[in-house]
């Protein structure tokens, strides 16, 4: 009866009809641009002679040339290493602070919780470029109030826009801006833990610290994994902070991070073909790293559950 | 649940429908009338402030008679606009007229984005200094643009502080170095100026003054001379001053730089004719305390300057009304009324020689009210501008400059090595693109 009716109304095609809008959108605004980027990355511009006048320039097939060029470019490698160093500071510090703040807000004795939560979250609402400009001004010795105070106190004034401290300076901007968001994610999942669990723990005589370490952290592990996953992607795509600080110092080159190199190739050197190849490489590395992490994290949680 | 699903479906369908309409609209927007006889409307991409007001003068005056209407679309300046023009040209949708810096012309020509308007606009050649005009022809018989403004380089200094520290205005670069050292001795916290690696145009202009020719052609081949003897001389000179600590090594246009100029921590600036505008915003407290002098020379007998900045008006190959566009470009850059308006509204320093001594430039800039003959002097200096030689990948050379010289300035290391990097990267890029490059 039911199957007959389904046939009668032609419901078999319905799922596809429902899928159609999403498929079209996906094809138009996702698959097509990516396909075009890959197509660009496999071509290059060939100039004849002096290259002046019409017809002197043509787009030719380049094969994997742009890819081999990008992979053998030491500047891209150095950029990747710089970003790794930056990420090694940002991710642990930012997530550590986010977890700490979330746990502290979740304790019973906290006062002014809504205000504190908002105050920690607020920097996330400030656009990255604005935050970088704001901090950039604070890092410049001649205009920073901090340096003024240090100078008056006769303390040493480190150059924050050079060498090692530059990494701290850049990381600080990311930590300042990102901690609040991650804290909210972790805090939300903390609030979702049923109260009975705490009651049981208290009856068993667990201290608040023990509750935090033995119950809360393991129970919010999934959201920790999630925030870690987001942070890896955000770190690999770091662009606006160093780009905004670049005009303020000689220490940030135009190719400081891999994404800055893509921008520089495309808009500084007008070479969209190499830029496309580098962009594809960055996308693949980001995919591999973030999903690699997600897989290991998932398999570990599953193992623990099995135990 | 079903409700949200339905909502999502409706939303997506609406989005698709909207997207489709938008696409359809894009496709049908380009069928304007093609005939050159009827009314013509032109689009002009420019970053000069107040350009729309100057275009209005045209639309109400000569343009009305010829039925040519120009619409100005305000753009970001410099390199970003070059990229935008090239992208639009790829889609065959570049505007009729574009503003382009002189050093960008070879890149644009090499991408076949600029039309040869020698037939329509070649007649205005006499209105410009030889060295300026030659930049728009790229050494050929073609004319790819009409010069708009120029940026002859000059030496700016704090008159009051030079007196205070007992310094003489340097006439040669040797004297410039001596002045920097003398100032360091008298006031260790004060710098004469800084070597900034964040604007390649400054170094290019200084090299040009020394006689460098970065790109030249030999038959069908390009010759790149970025590390020629003249440029090396300039690089070594500035590198030496930075290394011995006689001048600062921090970039320009930062809040710190503004403060240094405003508080007298830096007391001079090698710049161009447009410097009063920059100083007005960077160092507002020092109004009336600056003076302008010719750029220091390499030998006593020389009298040349380089140029830093300056731009032209070009007609694109995508334009359907090239003759009309060329007519407007000629009017804009040679007509006295247009040039006066450009000077007033846009604050530009015109490339047309007669305009440099016109009424618009009788008074000095407000920031330099203490130097009544500012523009008379400027016009004299402008005449001594050395010719420049730009190539098809100035953007690559400029980017490499920023990184290589930025690093060298930071480490106070060899500027000659940075210049070599600039040469090598530029040649490598040209070869990669397929240009014939002579060794």
Q: pLDDT tens-digit profile of A33-48?
A: 999 999 999 999 888 8
In the three-class reduction of DSSP (H, G, I as helix; E, B as strand; rest coil), residue B270 is classed as strand
Contact B403 A268 (CB under 8 A): no
pLDDT value at position A307? 58
* Confidence label for B417 from pLDDT (cuts 50, 70 and 90): very high
* Confidence label for B5 from pLDDT (cuts 50, 70 and 90): very low
Contact B395 A270 (CB under 8 A): yes
Half-sphere exposure of residue B379, counting CA atoms within 13 Å on the CB side? Answer: 18
- B251 part of contact set with chain A, CB < 8 Å: yes
- B83 part of contact set with chain A, CB < 8 Å: yes
The top-scoring range by mean pLDDT among A136-140, A222-226, A302-306, B181-185 is: B181-185
Nearest neighbour of B259 by CB, restricted to A55, A143, A251: A143
Among B406, B411, B428, most A C-beta atoms within 10 A, so best to mutate, is B406
In this predicted structure, the answer to whether residue A304 has a pLDDT above a threshold of 80 is no
> Tokens 């073909």 appear where?
A273
User: DSSP letters along chain A, please?
Assistant: -HHHHHHHTTGGGHHHHHHHHHHHHHIIIIIHHHHHHHHHHTEEEEE-TT--STTSEEEEE-TTHHHHHHHH-HHHHHHHHHHHHHHHHHHHHHHHHHHHHHHHHHSTT-SSHHHHHHHHHHHHHS-HHHHHHHHHHHHSTTT-HHHHHHHHHT-----TTSHHHHHHHHHHHHHHHHHHHHHHHHHHHHHTS-HHHHHHHHHTT--HHHIIIIIIHHHTHHHHHHHHHHHHHHHHT--HHHHHHGGG-SSS-TTSSHHHHHHIIIIIS--HHHHHHHHHHHHHHHHHHHHHHHHHHHHHHHHHHH-
Q: Which of B368, B371, B348 is nearest to B274 (CA)?
A: B348
Calculate ∠ Cα A265-A271-A275, nearest 5°: 55
pLDDT value at position B223? 93
* Closest CA in chain A for residue B399: A268
What is the CB neighbour count within 10 angstroms for residue B435?
A: 25
First vs last Cα of chain A: how many Å apart? 47
Tell me whether residue B408 is exposed, middle or buried, using C-beta atoms within 10 angstroms of its C-beta: 0 to 12, 13 to 18, 19 or more. Answer: buried
Mean local confidence (pLDDT), B106-132: 89
- Compute the nearest-CA separation of A144 from chain B (Å): 9
In the three-class reduction of DSSP (H, G, I as helix; E, B as strand; rest coil), residue B257 is classed as helix
In this predicted structure, the answer to whether residue B17 has a pLDDT above a threshold of 60 is no
In the three-class reduction of DSSP (H, G, I as helix; E, B as strand; rest coil), residue B182 is classed as helix
In the three-class reduction of DSSP (H, G, I as helix; E, B as strand; rest coil), residue B387 is classed as coil
Calculate ∠ Cα A154-A155-A159, nearest 5°: 125
Contact A269 B407 (CB under 8 A): no
pLDDT value at position A21? 93
CA dihedral B98, B99, B100, B101 (to 10 degrees): 180
Cβ atoms of A105 and A116 within 8 Å: the answer is: yes
* Closest CA in chain B for residue A52: B110
* Closest CA in chain B for residue A66: B432
Q: Give per-residue pLDDT as tens, A222-280.
A: 899 999 989 999 998 999 999 999 988 888 999 999 999 999 998 888 888 999 999 99
Q: Give per-residue pLDDT as tens, A119-155.
A: 999 999 999 899 999 999 999 888 888 888 888 888 8
In this predicted structure, the answer to whether residue A8 has a pLDDT above a threshold of 90 is no
Among B103, B399, B404, B409, most A C-beta atoms within 10 A, so best to mutate, is B399
Least confident of A293-307, B13-27, B40-54, B344-358: B13-27
- A134 part of contact set with chain B, CB < 8 Å: no
- What's the token pair of residue B410? 């930071």
Backbone angles phi and psi of B53, in degrees to 5 = -70, -40
Q: B279 or A56: whose pLDDT is higher?
A: B279
Contact A49 B83 (CB under 8 A): no
Least confident of A149-163, A203-217, B59-73, B237-251: A149-163
* Confidence label for B21 from pLDDT (cuts 50, 70 and 90): very low
pLDDT value at position B25? 41
* Confidence label for A26 from pLDDT (cuts 50, 70 and 90): very high
Least confident of B27-31, B55-59, B88-92, B120-124: B27-31
> Tokens 């939300």 appear where?
A188
Tell me whether residue B285 is exposed, middle or buried, using C-beta atoms within 10 angstroms of its C-beta: 0 to 12, 13 to 18, 19 or more. Answer: exposed
Calculate ∠ Cα B276-B345-B292, nearest 5°: 15
Contact B249 A140 (CB under 8 A): no
Contact A143 B255 (CB under 8 A): yes
Tell me whether residue B122 is exposed, middle or buried, using C-beta atoms within 10 angstroms of its C-beta: 0 to 12, 13 to 18, 19 or more. Answer: middle
Q: Distance from CA of residue B179 to its chain's centroid?
A: 29
- Compute the nearest-CA separation of B436 from chain A (Å): 5
In this predicted structure, the answer to whether residue B4 has a pLDDT above a threshold of 50 is no
- Compute the nearest-CA separation of B16 from chain A (Å): 7
pLDDT value at position B13? 46
In this predicted structure, the answer to whether residue A173 has a pLDDT above a threshold of 50 is yes
> Tokens 């100029």 appear where?
B261
In this predicted structure, the answer to whether residue A2 has a pLDDT above a threshold of 70 is no
Sign of CA dihedral B109, B113, B114, B116: positive
Contact B403 A255 (CB under 8 A): yes
Contact A162 B111 (CB under 8 A): no
CA distance B418 to B421: 5
Domains of chain B with CATH codes? 40-150+308-366 (3.40.190.10), 152-307+379-438 (3.40.190.10)
Least confident of A215-219, A273-277, B128-132: B128-132
Among B4, B6, B432, most A C-beta atoms within 10 A, so best to mutate, is B432
pLDDT value at position B298? 96
Q: Which of B94, B89, B172, B100 is nearest to B136 (CA)?
A: B100
Contact B16 A51 (CB under 8 A): no
Cβ atoms of B128 and B355 within 8 Å: the answer is: no
Which residues does residue B314 pair with via DSSP β-bridges, in sequence order? Answer: B98
Report the complex ipTM. 0.81
- B78 part of contact set with chain A, CB < 8 Å: no
CA distance A171 to A88: 9
Backbone angles phi and psi of B41, in degrees to 5 = -120, 135
Nearest neighbour of A247 by CB, restricted to B112, B253, B436: B253
* Closest CA in chain A for residue B255: A143
Q: List, as ranges, residues 97-116 from B with C-beta within 8 Å of A.
A: 106-107, 109-112
Contact B109 A53 (CB under 8 A): yes
- B403 part of contact set with chain A, CB < 8 Å: yes
* Confidence label for B123 from pLDDT (cuts 50, 70 and 90): confident
CA distances in angstroms from A300 to A222, A295, B405, listed in the order given:
11, 8, 49
- A247 part of contact set with chain B, CB < 8 Å: yes
- Compute the nearest-CA separation of B222 from chain A (Å): 6
In this predicted structure, the answer to whether residue A6 has a pLDDT above a threshold of 60 is no
Q: List, as ranges, residues 36-75 from A with C-beta within 8 Å of B.
A: 45-57
Nearest neighbour of A247 by CB, restricted to B83, B198, B435: B198
Domains of chain A with CATH codes? 73-306 (1.10.3720.10)
Nearest neighbour of A250 by CB, restricted to B111, B197, B222: B197
pLDDT value at position A231? 92
Size of interface A-B (CB pairs under 8 A): 116
CA dihedral B334, B340, B343, B346 (to 10 degrees): -90
Nearest neighbour of B254 by CB, restricted to A52, A162, A248: A248
* Confidence label for A300 from pLDDT (cuts 50, 70 and 90): confident
Contact A52 B410 (CB under 8 A): no
DSSP 8-class letter at B96? S
- What's the token pair of residue B340? 């006066």
- Compute the nearest-CA separation of A272 from chain B (Å): 10
Contact B16 A21 (CB under 8 A): yes
Cβ atoms of B319 and B36 within 8 Å: the answer is: no
Mean local confidence (pLDDT), B59-75: 93
- What's the token pair of residue B55? 């275009």
Nearest neighbour of B12 by CB, restricted to A21, A141, A249: A21
Q: What is the mean pLDDT of chain A?
A: 88
Mean local confidence (pLDDT), A18-42: 94
Cβ atoms of A67 and A219 within 8 Å: the answer is: no
Contact B16 A24 (CB under 8 A): yes
Percent over 90 (pLDDT), chain B: 68
Q: Give per-residue pLDDT as tens, B306-352.
A: 999 899 999 999 999 999 999 999 999 999 999 999 988 888 899 99
- B243 part of contact set with chain A, CB < 8 Å: no
Cβ atoms of B392 and B107 within 8 Å: the answer is: yes
* Confidence label for B437 from pLDDT (cuts 50, 70 and 90): very high
Cβ atoms of B390 and B214 within 8 Å: the answer is: yes
* Confidence label for A9 from pLDDT (cuts 50, 70 and 90): low
First vs last Cα of chain B: how many Å apart? 72
Contact B436 A49 (CB under 8 A): yes
pLDDT value at position A7? 55
What is the CB neighbour count within 10 angstroms for residue B422?
A: 28
- Compute the nearest-CA separation of B356 from chain A (Å): 32
Q: List, as ranges, residues 139-198 from B with C-beta within 8 Å of A.
A: 140, 197-198
Residues of A in contact with B399 (CB under 8 A): 254, 264, 268-269
pTM comes to: 0.84
Q: What is the mean pLDDT of chain B?
A: 88
Nearest neighbour of A57 by CB, restricted to B15, B112, B409: B112
In this predicted structure, the answer to whether residue B418 has a pLDDT above a threshold of 90 is yes
Which residues does residue A211 pair with via DSSP β-bridges, in sequence order? Answer: none
- What's the token pair of residue A245? 């600080």
Cβ atoms of A260 and A199 within 8 Å: the answer is: no
* Closest CA in chain B for residue A65: B432
Cβ atoms of A243 and A1 within 8 Å: the answer is: no
Contact B253 A137 (CB under 8 A): no
* Confidence label for B97 from pLDDT (cuts 50, 70 and 90): very high
In this predicted structure, the answer to whether residue A101 has a pLDDT above a threshold of 80 is yes
In this predicted structure, the answer to whether residue B77 has a pLDDT above a threshold of 70 is yes
Nearest neighbour of B9 by CB, restricted to A21, A141, A143: A21
In the three-class reduction of DSSP (H, G, I as helix; E, B as strand; rest coil), residue B299 is classed as coil
Cβ atoms of B145 and B104 within 8 Å: the answer is: no
Tell me whether residue A252 is exposed, middle or buried, using C-beta atoms within 10 angstroms of its C-beta: 0 to 12, 13 to 18, 19 or more. Answer: buried
């Amino acid at each position: 009866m039911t199957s007959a009716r389904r046939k009668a109304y032609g419901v078999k095609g319905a799922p596809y009809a429902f899928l159609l809008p999403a498929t079209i959108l996906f094809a138009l605004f996702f698959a097509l641009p990516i396909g075009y980027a890959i197509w660009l990355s496999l071509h290059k511009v060939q100039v004849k002679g002096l290259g002046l006048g019409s017809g002197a320039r043509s787009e030719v097939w380049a094969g994997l040339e742009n890819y081999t060029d990008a992979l053998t470019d030491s500047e891209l490698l150095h950029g990747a290493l710089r970003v790794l160093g930056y990420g090694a500071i940002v991710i642990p510090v930012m997530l550590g602070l986010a977890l700490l703040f979330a746990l502290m807000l979740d304790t019973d004795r906290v006062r002014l919780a809504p205000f504190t939560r908002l105050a920690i979250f607020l920097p996330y609402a400030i656009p990255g470029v604005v935050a970088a400009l704001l901090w950039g001004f604070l890092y410049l010795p001649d205009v920073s109030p901090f340096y003024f105070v240090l100078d008056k106190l006769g303390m040493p004034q480190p150059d924050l826009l050079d060498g090692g401290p530059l990494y701290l300076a850049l990381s600080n901007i990311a930590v300042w801006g990102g901690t609040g968001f991650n804290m909210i994610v972790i805090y939300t999942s903390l609030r979702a833990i049923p109260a009975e669990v705490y009651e049981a723990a208290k009856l068993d005589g667990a201290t608040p610290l023990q509750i935090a370490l033995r119950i809360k952290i393991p129970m919010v592990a999934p959201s920790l994994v999630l925030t870690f996953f987001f942070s890896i992607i955000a770190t690999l795509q770091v662009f606006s902070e160093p780009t905004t600080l670049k005009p303020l110092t000689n220490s940030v080159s135009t190719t400081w991070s891999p994404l800055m190199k893509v921008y520089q190739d495309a808009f500084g050197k007008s070479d969209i073909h190499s830029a496309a190849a580098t962009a594809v490489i960055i996308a693949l590395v980001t995919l591999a790293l973030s999903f690699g992490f997600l897989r290991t994290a998932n398999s570990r949680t599953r193992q623990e559950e099995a135990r | 649940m079903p409700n949200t699903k339905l909502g999502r479906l409706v939303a997506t369908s609406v989005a698709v429908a909207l997207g489709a309409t938008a696409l359809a609209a894009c496709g049908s927007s380009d069928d304007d009338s093609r005939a050159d006889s009827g009314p013509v409307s032109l689009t002009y991409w420019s970053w000069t402030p107040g350009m729309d007001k100057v275009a209005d003068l045209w639309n109400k005056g000569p343009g009305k008679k010829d039925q040519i209407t120009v619409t100005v679309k305000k753009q970001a300046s410099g390199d970003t606009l070059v990229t935008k023009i090239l992208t639009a040209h790829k889609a065959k949708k570049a505007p009729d007229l574009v503003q382009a810096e002189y050093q960008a012309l070879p890149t644009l020509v090499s991408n076949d984005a600029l039309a040869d308007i020698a037939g329509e606009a070649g007649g205005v050649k006499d209105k410009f200094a030889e060295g300026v005009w030659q930049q728009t022809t790229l050494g050929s018989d073609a004319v790819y643009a009409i010069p708009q403004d120029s940026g002859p380089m000059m030496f700016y200094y704090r008159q009051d502080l030079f007196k205070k520290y007992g310094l003489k205005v340097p006439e040669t670069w040797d004297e410039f170095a001596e002045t920097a050292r003398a100032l360091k001795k008298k006031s260790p916290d004060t710098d004469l100026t800084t070597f900034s690696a964040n604007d390649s145009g400054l170094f290019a202009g200084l090299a040009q003054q020394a006689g460098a020719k970065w790109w030249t052609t030999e038959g069908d081949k390009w010759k790149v001379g970025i590390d020629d003897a003249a440029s090396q001389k300039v690089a070594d000179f500035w590198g030496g001053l930075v290394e011995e600590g006689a001048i600062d090594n921090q970039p320009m246009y930062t809040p710190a730089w503004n403060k240094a100029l405003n508080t007298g921590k830096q007391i001079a600036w090698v710049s161009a004719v447009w410097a009063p505008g920059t100083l007005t915003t960077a160092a507002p407290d020092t109004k009336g305390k600056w003076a302008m002098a010719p750029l220091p020379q390499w030998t006593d007998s020389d009298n040349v300057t380089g140029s830093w900045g300056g731009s032209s008006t070009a007609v694109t190959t995508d334009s359907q009304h090239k003759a009309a566009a060329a007519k407007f470009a000629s009017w804009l850059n040679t007509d006295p009324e247009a040039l006066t308006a450009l000077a007033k509204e846009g604050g530009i320093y015109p490339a047309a020689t007669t305009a440099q001594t016109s009424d618009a430039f009788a008074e000095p800039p407000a920031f330099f009210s203490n130097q009544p003959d500012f523009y008379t002097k400027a016009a004299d200096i402008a005449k001594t501008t050395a010719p420049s030689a730009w190539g098809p990948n100035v953007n690559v050379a400029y980017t490499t400059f920023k990184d290589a010289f930025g690093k060298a300035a930071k480490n106070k290391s060899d500027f000659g090595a940075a210049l070599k990097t600039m040469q090598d990267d530029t040649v490598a890029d040209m070869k990669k693109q397929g240009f014939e490059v002579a060794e």
